[in-house]
Amino acid sequence: MSSSPTGSALRRIFVDKQSPKAFHALLETSEAVRAVAAEAGLDRTTVELINLRVSQLNGCAYCLDLHTRAALRAGESPQRLGVLAAWRDTASFTDSERAALALAEVTTDPTNADAQASAYDAARQVLTDDQVSAVIWVAITINAFNRVSILSKHPVPAPRKE
């Protein structure tokens, strides 16, 4: 069976369902990372900002939907969520959040050594070592979930009536 260069007539495999042991290990990692972030003093909104920014960079609609709702539940404002993609161009984020977002971006795309060094150095100025480590782990974990959802083509659920 042939497929076009831009798509396939065959349904994608939900790799999380096809290989549940691997997916459960990723879920366990995510739970451990959430605990590490909390122990390091990262608040839930910062963690969700990281999840959202990484998901924006990766273009993961499923994770964007999921973590937008989680950020709102955690108390994040719709205004800050609306400007997150342009976080460098607004004063809406604290120095710690800015450092975390920059570090999450270079964790997502570590190919620019200068940007990586700059983000890491800036993070070390305002975050503790435990927080730097937690930010990197949050970014690594959401990158993994993004890839699961993107390659599985997880559908975004229909909007809920609230």
Q: What is the pLDDT of residues 6-52, one digit of tens each?
A: 555 578 999 999 999 999 999 999 999 999 999 999 999 999 999 99
The full set of domains in the chain, from first to last, is 22-152 (1.20.1290.10)
Q: Which of 88, 89, 91, 95 is nearest to 123 (CA)?
A: 95
Instruction: Report d(CA 115, CA 128) in Å as an integer.
Output: 20
Give residue 5's pLDDT band: very low, low, confident or very high (50, 70, 90): very low
Instruction: Give the burial class of 81: count Cβ atoms within 10 A of its Cβ; 0-12 exposed, 13-18 middle, 19 or more buried.
Output: middle
Instruction: Report d(CA 123, CA 121) in Å as an integer.
Output: 5
C-alpha dihedral, 53 to 57 to 58 to 61, nearest 10°: 60
Q: In this structure, which amino acid lies at residue 111?
A: T
What long-range pairs does 97-100 form, CB within 8 A, spacing at least 24? 97/46, 97/49, 98/122, 99/123, 99/125, 99/126, 99/127, 99/135, 100/42, 100/46, 100/49, 100/50, 100/127, 100/131, 100/135
pTM > 0.75: yes
pLDDT tens readout for residues 102-146: 999 999 999 999 999 999 999 999 999 999 999 999 999 999 999
Identify the DSSP state of 2.
-
The pLDDT value recorded for residue 81 is: 98
For helices 61-73 and 44-58, the axis angle rounded to 10 degrees is: 160
Instruction: Report d(CA 81, CA 146) in Å as an integer.
Output: 18
Give residue 77's pLDDT band: very low, low, confident or very high (50, 70, 90): very high
